[in-house]
Amino acid sequence: MPHLFSPATLKSVTLKNRIVVSPMCQYRAEDGRANHWHTVHMGNLALSGAGTVIIEATAVEAAGRITPGDIGLYDDATEASLKTAIEAMRVVEDCAVFIQLGHAGRKASSHVPWDGGQLMRLEEGGWETFAPSAIPFKEGDRAPTAIDAAGLVRIREAFVDAARRAARLGFDGIEVHAAHGYLLHQFLSPLSNRREDAYGGSLENRMRFPLEVFEAVRAAFPADRPVGVRVSATDWVEGGWDLPQTVAFAKALAARGVDFVDTSSGGLVPQQKITTGPGYQVPFAEAVKTEAGVATFAVGMITEAEQANAIIVEGRADFVALGRGLLFDPRWPWRAAAALGETIDAPPSYWRGLPADKAGLFRANIVAR
């Protein structure tokens, strides 16, 4: 019976447990380039004890950054800037390291959250944004440019280029970002996609571009390494994207060889009304796993070890992914292992920090590279 600390495999990649660090934007980059902040932050997450770390949303072109502080992977400078951080993660811990590739679409060119997070005006350093249709995220915002045929090719090729760069950097896997109101989600939802060509209208048409991007990324990344997709299972708005459409999308992805679906929700429109609570998004992952037959990540207010373990044991998802909880408590996996009576890898340099009542918690994990 799989449990939270049982190993798993995705393609040729072995994951030492079922705990995943969700990608979390840091908004600290400089012109798309990662820096010392990211090396320290990513290294800390690598030492958390999680089996997999997915680094933050990484833009496939400069115009696709959410904020000026987003990291990117779209030229030699951005690629080189990530190399140090990834090498540091490999030195300190033997966890799987994935990257989330995305494009913000109409939610690009925004201020960082602590400066309000609103759309930046062009005169204050903002830039032209792109979307399936010229519909702004918020009423009164500058409208994005509707993507034409050449733009579709440009963006798809940007994902391909980023996937090839990710392979060169040695990432173990890729998560394509099609959630939280960003570009690929904008194509999926009828609330943001009002196109009248082959990429709009019917569900089949609205799925077309996200599926093309997935297929292109899958073809550009080594066949023995996994590629998954993050989705928003519902817009939390009547008439928007919903769970039945998500299941249909997951089935289409499964037919194209997706290795996992990371199941979140929301983010497309300000009018969303989300009902939250412990594990409130787990039923979405369960539905995708059961109906589409693909491995799923469950996310959203998973805070307790017993709760996380039950999700795996009961077969509701294959992995649990934590984000903000690991910012607050970067050693959550250690605490979870102690609570569940499991053992966990830890570097010998940290063994002396183990309390007497936790004897036997740590396994030797000496990374020699």
Residues 268 and 233: their CA atoms lie apart, in Å, by: 11
| Phi-psi sector, 216: left (phi>0), alpha (psi -120 to 50), beta | alpha
Q: Is 182 a catalytic residue?
A: yes
> How far is Cα 127 from Cα 114, in angstroms, rounded to an integer?
20
CA–CA separation, 268 and 107 (whole Å) = 9
Q: Which one-letter amino acid corresponds to residue 141?
A: D
The active-site residue out of 182, 199, 280, 350 is 182
Does residue 264 contact residue 287 with C-beta atoms inside 8 Å? no
**Active site positions, annotated:** 182
